[in-house]
Amino acid sequence: ATYTYGRESVSQYNESYAGVRPYTSFGNFLPNYPVNATLENGTLAPYISPDQLLPVGNADDNMMGYSYRLCLTPTQSKQAPFPKPSNYNETNFVILQRYIDSLIATGKYPNGPPFETLVDVFSYRNYPNGDKFDMCDSATSGFTSDAINLNKGYVMKTAEERKEIEQITYDYVMGLIWYILTSSLVPEHTRTTLQRYGLCNDQWNDNNHIPPQMYVREGLRLVNDHVFTQNHIVSGQCYEDSVALGSWGYDIHVVTRTANLSHVNNEGQLVAKIAKLPNSKSGPVFEIPYTIMVPSHNQVTNLLVPVCHAATHVAYSATRVEPHFMQLGGAAGYAAAWSVLTGNVDVQKVDQEIVPSKPCLTVNHTIPKFTSVDAFCIISGISFLPGCHFQKQLQKNVVNELKRIFKAYNESKLSIQEFIKNEMKNNQVKCTLIQTFGPKAADVVFDLVNKAKSVQLQRMISMSNNNNKSIQHMPGKKQLKMASIVRKVINMSSSAG
């Protein structure tokens, strides 16, 4: 099967965000406090590429920086110490120190920037103890935990060569930590804000509490007759073969770090909410079609690619997160089983075989399409990560719509099933509850209701009352049914995937 890596040009798929990106101050070194890119002997400092950037919009083979996502805790009894990397060299982090000095020079951090300014420390949502955190690069920091430029050529390397890149990436991430902890040049405040953390001593005990796998944001990508692009994501298009709902924005981390004249410059970064982009017709979610997983029919007929799917560098920045992979993986598993059980049908023809006979759930329209997506997968896919751009608004929309439905249902004399089907029939429901569940919403909801047990009623009503107190005034049976819906929908819409 044909594959690619790196960045397409603007002209290849008519993508405005493709290729080499123009300068932006976002996620970069400070324009008014530039950082010198060279050492005293005139050579480039470590972690700066000597390559010259191509013109804006050109294609290249560069990819977003890789890293190691450390699991941190501030709870001392649960901490393991940060190890000193065997290849540590303090002089490798001269650019980090110059960046710290530039932040101090702004006057915003006179005592030194906190550690959380240089990296993001995300909480794990719904983790009961609330004392484990995910260390990720900071989208707004000029020098952070992403090992920029060090993954050059990784995807085409041998296994041994990849291990070398993994090692230098580890040395970079742990070296950054060790530098902040031990260098006399680092301000005390910056060091102190890091010292409150340690590695989680109950994670990866067989690997010194370090994730055994490097964090690879992008690698090889399938190329077929239906490559998913920036334009598909913002089109608001409903596909005949939708199998997943995307809910992440464009999220391109720094791709290269070069010297612009004598100063350091990060390039490639872009963070944007899909619904907020000019001329975007998509809301907080976009549909992802089955066709992005299948190779061209004249190449391979028994391969499905849910992770390294056919998407451009720009589009992949929005589809590359795990809840999307979960949905695509579920669809791929269903399609593979269907192919085998129906006489080894070519994977390219699976959706053609299924669509006429099996209804399913889609987001923006009411015509049944593909069976492999279920309500649980869709809802969890909409709101899945800490800091998800759309989570709060989505939950607000769900709650507001539930309130509207409760009021209308409570005033009606219909059974709940008749009420929802009637609303669907008259196209009156414009909201997350029915739009996302699709034409089988009633069946899904009633299946949930039928599984509800009376012993759960008080707990369900208690959870529901915060969102709509009118539930408690409903007759008992209606109260049970509506509380069940609230519990299930709100739990699903707010859970982290």
Structure tokens at 116: 């959380």
Residue 29 to residue 48: CA distance in whole angstroms: 13
Q: Which of 207, 231, 261 is the last residue of a domain?
A: 207
Residue 121 lies in a domain: yes
Residue 460 to residue 400: CA distance in whole angstroms: 18
Residue 287 lies in a domain: no
Indicate if the pLDDT at residue 197 is higher than 60.
yes
Indicate if the pLDDT at residue 329 is higher than 90.
no
Sheet of 119-123, strands arranged across: 79-80, 198-200, 71-73, 133-137, 119-123
Reported as a pLDDT band with limits 50, 70 and 90, residue 1 is very high
Amino acid residing at 468: N
Residue 429 lies in a domain: yes
Pairing of strands 133-137, 242-246: unpaired
Reported as a pLDDT band with limits 50, 70 and 90, residue 326 is confident
CB atoms within 10 A of CB 278: 6
The predicted pLDDT at position 76 comes to 96
Q: Which of 186, 207, 228 is the last residue of a domain?
A: 207
Surface-to-core class of residue 444, CB atoms within 10 Å of its CB (0-12 exposed, 13-18 middle, 19+ buried): middle
Please tell me whether the overall predicted TM-score, pTM, comes out greater than 0.85 for this model: no
Reported as a pLDDT band with limits 50, 70 and 90, residue 78 is very high
Structure tokens at 305: 């690619």
pLDDT in tens, 336-356: 887 887 788 899 988 666 644
Residue 347's contacts (CB-CB under 8 Å, 6 or more residues apart) are 293, 294, 301, 302, 303, 304, 335, 336, 339
- DSSP H helical segments within 229-285, as ranges? 230-234
Phi, psi at 353, each rounded to 5°: -75, -35
How far from 402 is each of 405, 435, 467, CA to CA, in Å?
Answer: 5, 13, 9
Residue percentage of the chain with pLDDT more than 70: 71
The predicted pLDDT at position 24 comes to 95
Q: Are the CB atoms for 224 and 291 separated by under 8 Å?
A: yes
Q: Which of 207, 241, 275 is the last residue of a domain?
A: 207
Residue 323 to residue 383: CA distance in whole angstroms: 9
* Cα dihedral sign, 68-73-78-80: positive
Q: What is the DSSP letter of 470?
A: G
Residue percentage of the chain with pLDDT more than 90: 57
The predicted pLDDT at position 487 comes to 47
Reported as a pLDDT band with limits 50, 70 and 90, residue 228 is very high
Q: Which residue matches tokens 């899904």?
A: 444
Strand partners, 287: 245
- DSSP H helical segments within 124-158, as ranges? none
Q: Average pLDDT of 200-211? A: 97
Residue 45 lies in a domain: no
pLDDT in tens, 95-113: 999 999 999 999 999 999 9
Maximum Cα–Cα distance for the chain, whole Å? 84
How far from 314 is each of 82, 136, 252, 364, 424, CA to CA, in Å?
Answer: 35, 20, 7, 23, 36
How far from 444 is each of 212, 227, 439, 475, CA to CA, in Å?
Answer: 40, 32, 10, 22
Residue 239 lies in a domain: no
Q: Are the CB atoms for 220 and 151 separated by under 8 Å?
A: no
* Cα dihedral sign, 272-276-277-280: positive
Reported as a pLDDT band with limits 50, 70 and 90, residue 305 is very high
Residue 306 lies in a domain: no
Pairing of strands 198-200, 79-80: antiparallel
Residue 372 lies in a domain: no
Structure tokens at 348: 């390219």
The predicted pLDDT at position 10 comes to 98
Closest listed residue to residue 164, CA positions, set 210, 93, 214: 214
Comparison of pLDDT for 482 and 185, the residue scoring more: 185
Residue 358 lies in a domain: no
Strand partners, 215: 67
The predicted pLDDT at position 413 comes to 75
Residue 259's contacts (CB-CB under 8 Å, 6 or more residues apart) are 37, 38, 44, 48, 50, 265
Q: Are the CB atoms for 299 and 2 separated by under 8 Å?
A: yes
Indicate if the pLDDT at residue 145 is higher than 50.
yes
Structure tokens at 106: 């702004």
Amino acid residing at 301: T
Residue 484 to residue 133: CA distance in whole angstroms: 33
Indicate if the pLDDT at residue 414 is higher than 70.
yes
Q: Average pLDDT of 224-230? A: 97
Phi, psi at 425, each rounded to 5°: -60, -40
Q: Average pLDDT of 71-86? A: 97
The predicted pLDDT at position 249 comes to 92
Q: Average pLDDT of 191-211? A: 97
Parent domain of 91: 65-207
Strand partners, 80: 199
Comparison of pLDDT for 175 and 443, the residue scoring more: 175
Q: Are the CB atoms for 8 and 59 separated by under 8 Å?
A: yes
The predicted pLDDT at position 354 comes to 60
Domain count, the chain: 2
